[in-house]
Amino acid sequence: MRQSGNCSALFSRAMPAAPDTTVTIVLATGNRDKVREIRPLLENISPLFKVTTLKELGAEVDIEETEQTLEGNALLKARAIFSILSEQFPAMIALADDTGLEVDALQGAPGVYSARFAPTPDGNTPTYQENVRHLLHSMKGIVDRNARFRTVIALKGSIPSGDKQFEFEHTAEGVVSGSITLEQQGTGGFGYDPVFLVHSTAKTYAEMSIVEKNTLSHRALAIQKAIADLKTLLEPGFTPLTCTHSPQ
């Protein structure tokens, strides 16, 4: 398993993994739109992986995103959900993501604050539409509209390996370049999808079907990288090796 940034686990071939252990992947988000996108990408990895959600497990958890990076927030959420639920499963992976829209003309904003970009009088989390309108207002009159969407997927897991239980953390990142439109285009998707024009398709995410979006989006790319690494757990043999330090 490859690591992004600081690492806590690597795999090499040597010792057989337990082939009959079902690994429960818990989607560490209460956002139904994210679940709707992420779940189909994970459900066909292998019969040995079972995908479930916080809602299905009866875990209503609201985790405050206090880190200054996407990777930090993704790991924060994965660690929290793993801590709460891991004792319920012999093998479990908490999968969390954090996503940011980075606009060049706004010096990378809204970035890690993408979900909380628009100011609200009551201090509550703004709606999708409030964030979109605030972004378009902030970009009024600006010619350079280049932007990118970045997603970091964090995995926090525990699996049996030989006669031991092996815990690991891992991150994977997906990036898609695009630009901010002058007005909203399309009715699908969520968040900033109606104003993010994907350069490779000349369409906004909101103008794509969920199937099309899931072939090329930032979140899909990050999930695909994470899936490639998860598949190493199913290979005939591996030995988990811990790094000399833990991720911060």
pLDDT tens profile 199-217: 999 999 999 999 999 999 9
pLDDT band of 242, cuts 50, 70, 90 = very low
**98 is known as an active-site residue:** yes
Q: Supply the pLDDT for residue 61.
A: 84
Residue 105 is classified by DSSP as G
According to the model, what pLDDT value does residue 161 have? 72
Whole-number average pLDDT of the chain: 86
More confident residue, 50 or 247: 50
Q: How far apart are the C-alpha atoms of 26 and 47, rounded to whole Å?
A: 15
Task: Kindly list the domain boundaries of the chain, sorted by start residue.
Answer: 10-241
Quote the pLDDT of residue 7: 35
Average pLDDT over residues 191-200: 97
Please state which of the four CATH numbers 3.90.950.10, 3.90.105.10, 3.90.650.10, 2.60.40.10 is assigned to the domain occupying 10-241: 3.90.950.10
Output the pTM of the full model.
0.85
Q: How many residues does the chain have?
A: 248
Q: Is the pLDDT of residue 30 over 60?
A: yes
How much is the pLDDT for 166? 82
* Residue 238 confidence (pLDDT): 53
Helical H segments across the chain, by residue range: 32-42, 70-85, 128-138, 210-216, 218-230
Given the residues 98, 144, 163, 229, the one annotated as active site: 98
